[in-house]
Amino acid sequence: MPWPTIIVFLLPALALYVVFLLIPIVLSTRYSLYAWNGFGPLEDFVGLDNFQQAFSDARFRSALWHNAVIVIFSLVIQLPAALALAMLLNAKLRGRAVMRTVFFAPYVLSEVVTGVVWRQILRPDGLLDQSMQGVGLGGWTQGWLSDPDVVLYALFFIISWKYFGFHMILMLAGLQQIPGELKEAASIDGANAWTTFRYVTLPLLMPTVRVSLFLSVIGALQIFDLVWVTTKGGPIGASSTMSTFLYDRFRDSRFGYASAVSIIIFGFSLVVALLYQRFALRRDLEGAGAGV
Amino acid sequence: MPVSDLALRPSRPDTAGDDSLRSYRLRRRALRVLLYATAFVTMAIVIIPLTFSVLGGFRDSQQLSADPVGLPSPWVFDNYTTLLKSGSFWRQVWNSTFVALLTTLFVLPAASLSAFVLARYKFRGRELVYGLFTLGLLFPVAVAILPLFIVLRQVGLLSNPLGVALPQAAFGLPLSIVIMRPFFQAIPQSLQDAARIDGCGPLRFYWYVMLPLSRPVLSTIAVISIVGSWNAFLLPLLVLIDPNQHTLPIGVNNISSQFSTDYSVVLAYTTLSMIPALIFYALAERQIIGGLTNGAVKE
């Protein structure tokens, strides 16, 4: 195919992509080297000071730590739970079509709706508190979203509520690609449920698990909307993430500093993506001979 | 024997002795009870917040603070009827719909044309272009928001629905192309050869052969981009400054900070705003789930 034709086909997407994605990345990189309030010329070149400042800023460091907590909890709690539910849906249970529809529904709702509804449920003396009092657990109620020691965990629960269905669906699709004969054979050879899972299902599911893992880590590093709507990163920054920190600096008109933070988030994501590419994708492609 | 649930079933004992068979059946029944219980609890965790929101809209704010648990008594319809009669709510529904359709209108042709050449033709730098597109997966709107805002200000797209739709289309390209390319690659080469022999150029092949064959993946991309746009928060919040242009998520967010004492109004608003999304999901479940799993599992 001649070059002009190829270029014509690629042009609409490339134009959109360059204007609204690549130029912003380049601009971010540039702004990150300046102290700038968003108006007037870029004059005050500060080199890497913004980056240095970010990593020595206690607020940024705690935001980074919160992202790390969300990443770790997602991997240790959310993904195994999603896998368990995917296996549940893969078993012949009555009503599993309805279950699948319901489990996935939160993923379709907007972050704003999710955040607003959960804020109402978790507010002091709200639905959760009164329900707990009703069953005699009144002593266990917390300032779910107002206690700095609790808020991050409450937030993680909301995040899981919103996103577990997505990972569950991915893993369900992966499970359904595993030929039933393999499990049958394992069962005939005397493998019990656990050994079948450990030595047949899980290894064959690993490519899907790795995709899920990758998307989950990236999502946790970048999470913004849900956190912002639910807690605005508060109280006193106890549920801030790198993205809410970035947005706060944007609102302070510290554009240079905010740009440095966005480059840092991008950098983290890139490292995760490269690790994934290096360790997972190649192996998955070798194993599966898949199209891409 | 149903094969698919073998992994979740205790293995059948080798000896067919009565006792062990009974204990096998018992364990199997226990397992099923456990599975149903898990399913039930999960369903409850998903459904309770949604029900709470729907019912909350039928209470007044006193009821909501005094007793948020049971059914409303008496049922209050004012919250919903007032909203349904208000012009601003419907304007937001329309704005959300308009921006979602506009986004889809940009992303579908742009993504499919690119995915088409990236899938069907060999040229130098092809993988580079593809890699460039996938890089976008790492740079979501929330992270790019600051320079994006500056670009939009520069080209005069603030307070303009295009200022939301065009960037959303751009940020939708990576996922769309990643989902479409393997689909396009799977269409047999012989079709393309036959078309070429019959004198059909790339554009006509794309239009008359590829697109009609790709309806499932096209509708998946359409649905994903509509849902994504419908739910978008940060970009519309910053770009659509004029209240007449606000979309539903902005409306919900505003009302929840404005009426921070009248929770029942907030819940009624929230409920009404999630109904279109849930209806759309019910209609397009197959496209949404199918598209997401195809893209990710094949990738």
Q: Which of A12, A84, A106 sits opposite B109 (nearest CB)?
A: A12
Q: Do B231 and A23 touch (CB under 8 A)?
A: no
B70 is a domain residue? no
Residue B265 forms part of a structural domain: yes
Whether residue A105 lies inside any domain: the answer is: yes
User: Which 8-state DSSP code applies to residue A34?
Assistant: E
- Scored b (16 or more CB within 10 A) or e, B108-127 reads bebbbbbbbbbbbeeeeeee
What CATH number corresponds to the domain at position B194? 1.10.3720.10
Residue with tokens 């928060």: B233
Backbone φ/ψ region at A42: left (φ over 0), alpha (ψ -120 to 50), beta: beta
Q: Is B267 on the interface with A (CB under 8 A)?
A: yes
Cα-Cα-Cα-Cα dihedral of B248, B251, B255, B257, to 10°? 110
**Cα of B20 to nearest chain A Cα, Å:** 15
CB contact under 8 A, B252 and A116: yes
Three-class DSSP category at A44 = strand
pLDDT for position B17: 60
Q: Residue B35: list chain A partners with CB under 8 A.
A: 88, 91, 93
Co-location of B37 and B183 in the same domain: no
Pair B266, B130 in one domain? yes
Whole-angstrom Cα distance, residue A187 to residue B37?
A: 25
Contact A173 B35 (CB under 8 A): no
Same domain, B184 and B284: yes
Determine contact: B196 vs chain A, CB below 8 A: no
Helix (H, G, I), strand (E, B) or coil at A110: coil
Burial class from Cβ neighbours inside 10 Å (0-12, 13-18, 19+) for residue A59 reads middle
In chain A, residues with a C-beta closer than 8 Å to the C-beta of B132 are: 17, 22
Query: Number of Cβ pairs closer than 8 Å across A and B?
Result: 307
CATH code (residue A35) = 1.10.3720.10
A155-199 tens-digit pLDDT: 999 999 999 998 998 888 888 888 888 878 887 888 787 888 888
The predicted complex's ipTM stands at 0.84
- In this structure, the answer to whether residues B47 and B86 fall within a common structural domain is no
Do residues B247 and B212 share a domain? yes
Cβ-defined contact of A24 to B117 (cutoff 8 Å): no
pLDDT tens for chain B, 299 residues long, are: 344 444 455 555 555 566 777 887 888 888 888 889 999 999 999 999 999 999 988 988 778 777 777 788 788 888 888 888 888 889 999 999 999 999 999 999 999 999 999 998 888 888 899 988 888 888 888 888 888 988 998 889 999 999 999 999 999 999 899 888 888 888 888 888 888 888 888 888 888 888 888 888 888 888 889 988 999 999 999 999 888 999 999 998 888 887 667 788 888 999 999 888 888 888 888 777 776 666 555 44
Note whether B46 contacts A105, CB cutoff 8 Å.
Answer: yes
Residues of chain B contacting A225 with CB distance shorter than 8 Å: 142, 233-234
CB burial class (10 A; 0-12, 13-18, 19+) of residue A258? buried
Q: Are B49 and B42 in contact (CB under 8 A)?
A: no
Query: What is the tens place of the pLDDT at every residue in A244-263?
Result: 999 999 888 888 999 999 99
Does residue B183 sit in the same domain as residue B136?
yes
Q: What is the domain count for chain A?
A: 1
Report the sign of the C-alpha dihedral through residues B263, B264, B269, B270, in that order: positive
B contacts of A167 (beta carbons < 8 Å): none
Chain A interface includes B17 (CB < 8 A) = no
Separation of CA A14 from chain center: 27
* Residue A286 scores a pLDDT above 60: no
Tell whether A236 is covered by a domain.
Answer: yes
Query: B293 and A93: CB-CB below 8 Å?
Result: no
Asked if B12 lies within 8 A of A187 by C-beta distance, the reply is yes
Q: Residue A13 and residue B11: Cβ atoms within 8 Å? A: no
Question: Which residues from chain A sit within 8 angstroms of residue B136, using beta carbons?
Answer: 17, 21
Which residue type does A19 have? V
Residues of A in contact with B232 (CB under 8 A): 110
- Domain total of chain B: 2
Residue A76's domain spans which residues?
13-288
Q: Do B27 and B91 reside in the same domain of the chain?
A: no
Residue A3 burial class via C-beta count within 10 angstroms: exposed 0-12, middle 13-18, buried 19 and up: exposed
Task: Choose among B11, B68, B185: nearest Cβ to A130.
Answer: B68
Same domain, B161 and B223: yes
Is B68 part of the contact surface with chain A (CB cutoff 8 Å)? yes
Residue B63 lies in a domain: no
Mean pLDDT over the full length of chain A = 87
Q: Which domain holds residue B107?
A: 78-298
CA distance B179 to chain A (A): 10
Q: Is position B64 within any domain?
A: no
Contact B123 A105 (CB under 8 A): no
As a whole number of Å, the CA-based R_g of chain B is: 26
Please report whether residue A199 resides in a domain: yes
> Is residue B92 in a domain?
yes
B71 touches chain A (CB under 8 A): no
Q: How far is B199 from chain A (nearest CA, A)?
A: 14
Confidence of residue A289 (pLDDT cuts 50, 70, 90): very low
Contact B233 A229 (CB under 8 A): yes
